[in-house]
Each structure stands twice: as C-alpha cells, then as structure tokens.
Structure 1
C-alpha cells in the first residue's frame, strides 16, 4: 500500500472513537499493548499490530482477546500465546507471527477461517508442535516460512488443500520437499529461492496442476524432474545461480503457457526450445558459459520480447533470429560474437541492442542499422568496431549510445539529436566529435586518445591546448565525465550547467579550474 494511502486510512481510524479499544485498527505499539494487557478490547477491533524484538518475553493469554471477537488481522512478531483459545480468534484471516516460539504454549486455536499465515524467521521445524493447530486452517491460501533455518524437511502439507502460495525462501537447511506436496493441487506459486542445501525437486511436482510459478534461484538443485512437462499453467520458471544444474528435461519445452524462463548462471550445455513455447516473452541464459551454440528453434519463439545471451560461450546467432518479430531487447554482452548478423536488422521492434565487452566484435556497423527505427539503446563499449555509419543519425528514437573503449574507432561523425546519454572513447580518436546538436544530453563521457594516465609529449599538448567544445547549451546535463589528456583549458560554459550534479575530470595538463556550477554534488579530479 502506498504510504500516503496508509496515512489517510490511519487518520480516518483515529476519528472513529476517542477510546482506543473501540477503534477498528491498532498499529501503534504502545496503544495496542495497552488495549491488550488491560483487556480494553471490544468487538470493534479488526486489526492489531505488535512487533517485539528477539529478546522479548512477552506472552498473551485468551483473556487478552476476550472481547475481540471480530479480529481479522493479528501481528505478534517475537511474542507467544499461552492457554486455551476456544473461540477467541475464530474470525482471524491473517496471522503474521514472525519469530514465533519453538514450543507453542497455546491450544484449541480456532483457525478455520485463516487465509494467510506468516511464520517467517521462526525456529519452527517439521516436528513443531504448532502444526497440530495449524492443520485446522482448512482455508489457508498463503504459508510463508521464509528464513526458517531449522526446517530440514517440509511439514505434512496434505491438510492444506486450498494452499495457493508456499514460500520457503532462505530455508538454508532444507534438504527435502516431502511427497505430501502432491496434495496441493491448487498451489499457484512455489518459492524455494536460496535454499542452498536443496539438491533435488520431487517427482510429485508434476501433480501440482495449478502451478504458475516455480522459483528455485540459488539452490543446489541438480536436475529438474521430467514431470514438469505436465504443468500446463506454468508461466514463470526461474533457476538463476543454480550452480549444480547441468541439464533440463526436454519436457520443459512443451510447457505451452511459459512466459518467463530464466537460467542465469547455470551449467546447462543445451537449451531445450520448441515451437510449443509460443507465448514465451522473456528468455535469459546470462552467464551460462557452457552454452556454445543456440538451437535453430530459437526463431520459433514467436512472442519473445526480451532475449539475454550475455556472458555465454556463443560465437554467432542463428539466422532464424530474424523471425523474432516482437523482440524489443537483445543482450549479447561479453560473448564471442564476431559480427552482428544481417538477420538483426530485420527486427523492426528492437529497442535495445547490448553488445558491450564483445572483444571479437570487429568491423564497421552496416548502414542497415537505420532499419531499426525504434532503437533507443545501443551499447558497443569494449568492442573492436572501427566505424559507425552516417545513417545512425537518422535513428529518431535513439537515447543511449555507449562507445566506451572502442579503441579501433577513429571518430564519430553525425549523431542522433535525441541522445540523452553518450559515452565515447578510443585510443585512435584524435578529435572530439561534434555534439553541439545534442541539447537533450543528461549524461556525457568523452575521452581523447588513451584512457591510461600516460603523459603525452609536449608537441601533442600544444596541438591540443584547447578544445572547441562548448558546454553552455547543454542545460539538461546532470553527469559529465571528461578525460581529455592533451588539453590545458576546459570547454567554456561549465558554470552554466545548472542541473549538473556530478563532474569527473581526468585532464592532467589542466592549468586552471574554471567556475563550477552551484548545484554540483560530486567532484572528482585526476
């Protein structure tokens, strides 16, 4: 909830009644504690929020809730319940009980209407005595066990037929998902992120016919059960940084409902794809260094919008990539791609092309780049490209151009006037490009010659004693980084940049520092 909307609601509550016990919600610690400990509650109260620290010994008994028959939300972080609670919490829908005790001292909890249970960061395990009370929650839809580090195996889940969301994130000692998980036919989301000891998923996973989301990022899972192919409602599968995952079952390529597919940092060698993944929109295999080749079936992913192949071992893209008519973002940073295939220029909807760190990428960018009329971001930094065509100036939507450390680049001619961010540097570039028309620039990095702090000889310094670059017209500039090693005087108009907040100068022959903008926040001088 937006904080302003929350505050508006709280203002309304404060006008409900002058007596705290007759207000519908209590969220201030002192007020809520006063009402409970002095038994001032009434049936008007619907929500109580109490948070204690881990050293707290606070405990509540049935008498504290005696007159609060309509309470629907209760937060009792790091507190305890003691005694017999017949009918005391019968209206409870949401119990937020982080850090609940290792031994539950309460009995006869009436939780038949409970929908959300949050026991995150608690000492509960699969043998916790509280499960006998929780299993009465037949309507439970959300069970949050985040950070329950004592949990080795999942508890008996067969009682929770209505469960839709199971969160086991950061259960760092969890090693087994019990077979009772097959009872969760209504489960929509399964979150196992950062369960670092979990090395396998149960074959019963295929029984979760309503499952839409599987998150196993940062686990030790070694393989995915073939039964995953039965999950025909699965929309999201994320297995980023599963460093032991070396293979995926072919059946995953037949999950027609899959929209988001992320495998960053895994050790898989092949990517199972098929034309049945007809609604897949996001595919990411960033840092899958064992993938050396992409399947031709990549072109059959008709709905693909974002494709991230960064830091893989690929040397080329399949020609079928030209069939990805809806592709908007293509990332091939830090790959071994030698050239941009002609198929790329047919991607009419492409908005971002990221090819930074492609050390093998050489030659000139072809004039066909002007066909990418929607292109907004072009990143070619740390590549071996040697030229850009004049046609790049006709890209009317271009906002970001990154040519940092393109050391084979002799110069940059015309640039799109729509640029907001420009970074250019090359060891072979003798003259600063003409950027006088780039009045929308908010970020600029310019460098002449080497980026290393090596003194040029005196002849070079005299030849480049000044620059004809004028900065006064760049009224939108917020970040300016100049590495002009061969000049003695900075461009004029620096003091006129009223929006400039960060200035970094690497100008080792600079004789004087001019007046600086009053709004400057960060200044770095080398």
Structure 2
C-alpha cells in the first residue's frame, strides 16, 4: 500500500507481475517510464487528485486483466470516458466522487460488470441508457445522489440485478416495468423525498423480494396488496 506517494524513474521489469495496487491520495503528477502493470487485477486509488487527463491512465490501461477498480473520493473526476479500456471489470466503485457529473455511455461495454457503486456522487445528474447493456450486473448503488432525478428506462433490462439502492436520491419516479427485474431481492428507496405517484403494479411480478424499503417516501402512494413496505 502507498499513500500520497510520488513515483518517478524507470520501472522496467519491476511491476509486470504486480496483481494488486493500493495507492491512496495519489497525486496528479505521474512521471515514470516503463510502468507496465499488465497482470494487475485490483487497483485502488481512493481519495486521489487524479482526473480524466491523468497521465497514469495510459499505463494502467495496459492492465487487461483488471477486475476491481476503486476510485472513491476522487473529487476531481468529472466523467468516466477514460474507463472504456477496462472491458473486464467486475467491480467499479466511484463512491463520493463529488465532481462526477456523468457516466459515459462507454460503460455499456463492461459486459462482465457485477457491481457498480455511485453512492454520494452529489453532482451526478443522469445515467446513460447504455446502463441497460450491463447484463451481468447484480448490484447498483445510487444512494445519496441528490440531483439524480431519473433512472433510464433501460434499467429494466438488467435481468440479473439483485440489489438496487436509490435511497436519499433525487429520483422522482420508478420505471413502470420495474417488475421485469425478476431477480431483484432488495429495492432500497427510503427517504426519496421527490418520489411520487403510485408504486408500479408490475412490482408484484418480482419473484422473491426480501426487502422493499420505501420508508420516508411521503409523496408515494401504495398499491394495495402488491408490495411489502419495510
């Protein structure tokens, strides 16, 4: 593990076998040569100053086996276009990236993605329709995204989704066809103050819901007999 470390120099034949790198508070400057982490599987850069133009991305894009990427609290990030190279990611964590305004449509190419975390992304205004292409996705966490007002219609194409957390978000309406998410076990929607109207009747099609939480959603109307409110 490194913290706020400044790397310089030539790394030829030094990191080719590296599989896990945790580099907290990574600085924006990246002045290294021959940094080729081709075997890297886990990369954690929480609390870093990096942004889309960070020169380090050109080296890390060589990590074709990367499965886990944690960029939590990287407050200078504004978009995710640079992530398009990581086709084999299974876990992408972008929690509390306060400057993140949009998720680039290229995320639809991450066919192996199982978990996407966007908790506390206070500037995130929308999700692209390409989210619906994440056919393997099991967990989508959007809680505390205050300015996110809608879910894309394509979200109902996530047939393997098990957990959807939109609690304390700005979302105003649930998709009418949310019942198509047959594998959904948990829908966490507590304290969504803007959520209004009726809960979609299609929710009765959910095969085995274990937790449907609408606590504190004062503008939301019930559909008799169709849901359990925790």
Normalising by the smaller structure, the TM-score range is: over 0.9
**TM-score with structure 2 setting the length:** 0.94
Identify the residue that residue 62 of structure 2 maps to in structure 1: 136
Q: The residue matched to 1:229 in structure 2 has which SS?
A: helix
Q: Distance in 1 between matches of 2:175 and 2:152?
A: 7
Identify the residue that residue 184 of structure 2 maps to in structure 1: 258
Q: The residue matched to 1:106 in structure 2 has which SS?
A: strand
Identify the residue that residue 151 of structure 2 maps to in structure 1: 224
1:458-482 per-position Cα deviation (integer Å, ceiling 9, x unaligned) = xxxxxxxxxxxxxxxxxxxxxxxxx
Q: The residue matched to 1:158 in structure 2 has which SS?
A: helix
Identify the residue that residue 150 of structure 1 maps to in structure 2: 76
Q: Distance in 2 between matches of 1:295 and 1:86?
A: 66
Identify the residue that residue 199 of structure 2 maps to in structure 1: 271
Within-5 A mapping of 1:453-472: none
Deviation at 1:160, TM superposition (A): 1.1
Identify the residue that residue 195 of structure 1 maps to in structure 2: 121
Identify the residue that residue 109 of structure 1 maps to in structure 2: 35
Q: The residue matched to 2:83 in structure 1 has which SS?
A: coil
Taking a change above 3 Å as real, the CA distance of residues 146 and 202 of structure 1, as seen in their structure-2 partners, is: same
Q: Distance in 1 between matches of 2:218 and 2:203?
A: 22
1:206-251 per-position Cα deviation (integer Å, ceiling 9, x unaligned) = 0111100000001021110110111111000001101x21111112
Q: The residue matched to 1:240 in structure 2 has which SS?
A: coil
User: 1:146–1:169: 8 Å Cα contact kept in structure 2?
Assistant: yes
The alignment's C-alpha RMSD in Å is 1.3
Deviation at 1:179, TM superposition (A): 1.3
Deviation at 1:79, TM superposition (A): 0.6
Match of 1:290 among 219, 225, 228: 219
Return 5+ residue gaps in structure 1 as ranges.
1-74, 299-303, 309-526
User: 2:178–2:203: 8 Å Cα contact kept in structure 1?
Assistant: no
1:278-299 per-position Cα deviation (integer Å, ceiling 9, x unaligned) = 111111001000023334333x
Which moved further from structure 2: 145-154 or 262-271? 262-271
Q: Distance in 2 between matches of 1:292 and 1:227?
A: 24
Q: Distance in 1 between matches of 2:94 and 2:31?
A: 24
Q: The residue matched to 1:157 in structure 2 has which SS?
A: helix
Within-5 A mapping of 1:333-412: none
1:164-185 per-position Cα deviation (integer Å, ceiling 9, x unaligned) = 0111100011101011111100
Deviation at 1:154, TM superposition (A): 1.3
Q: Distance in 2 between matches of 1:134 and 1:251?
A: 39
Deviation at 1:105, TM superposition (A): 0.9
Within-5 A mapping of 1:118-133: 118-133=44-59
User: Is residue 89 from structure 1 mapped to residue 18 from structure 2 by the alignment?
Assistant: no
Q: The residue matched to 2:8 in structure 1 has which SS?
A: strand
1:326-375 per-position Cα deviation (integer Å, ceiling 9, x unaligned) = xxxxxxxxxxxxxxxxxxxxxxxxxxxxxxxxxxxxxxxxxxxxxxxxxx
User: 1:147–1:171: 8 Å Cα contact kept in structure 2?
Assistant: yes
Identify the residue that residue 335 of structure 1 maps to in structure 2: none
Identify the residue that residue 65 of structure 1 maps to in structure 2: none
User: 2:199–2:221: 8 Å Cα contact kept in structure 1?
Assistant: no
Deviation at 1:155, TM superposition (A): 3.8
User: 1:227–1:251: 8 Å Cα contact kept in structure 2?
Assistant: no
Within-5 A mapping of 1:310-321: none
Structure with the larger RCO, 1 or 2 (CA within 8 Å, 6+ apart): 2
Q: Distance in 1 between matches of 2:93 and 2:119?
A: 9
Identify the residue that residue 163 of structure 2 maps to in structure 1: 236
Identify the residue that residue 246 of structure 1 maps to in structure 2: 172
Q: Distance in 1 between matches of 2:117 and 2:108?
A: 16
Identify the residue that residue 94 of structure 2 maps to in structure 1: 168
Runs of 4+ in 1 over 4 A off after TM superposition: none
Deviation at 1:276, TM superposition (A): 2.3
User: 1:156–1:180: 8 Å Cα contact kept in structure 2?
Assistant: no
User: 1:126–1:153: 8 Å Cα contact kept in structure 2?
Assistant: yes
User: Is residue 281 from structure 1 mapped to residue 207 from structure 2 by the alignment?
Assistant: no
Rg larger in 1 or in 2? 1
Identify the residue that residue 503 of structure 1 maps to in structure 2: none
Q: The residue matched to 2:43 in structure 1 has which SS?
A: strand
Q: Distance in 1 between matches of 2:212 and 2:203?
A: 13
Deviation at 1:198, TM superposition (A): 0.5
Q: Distance in 2 between matches of 1:92 and 1:297?
A: 51
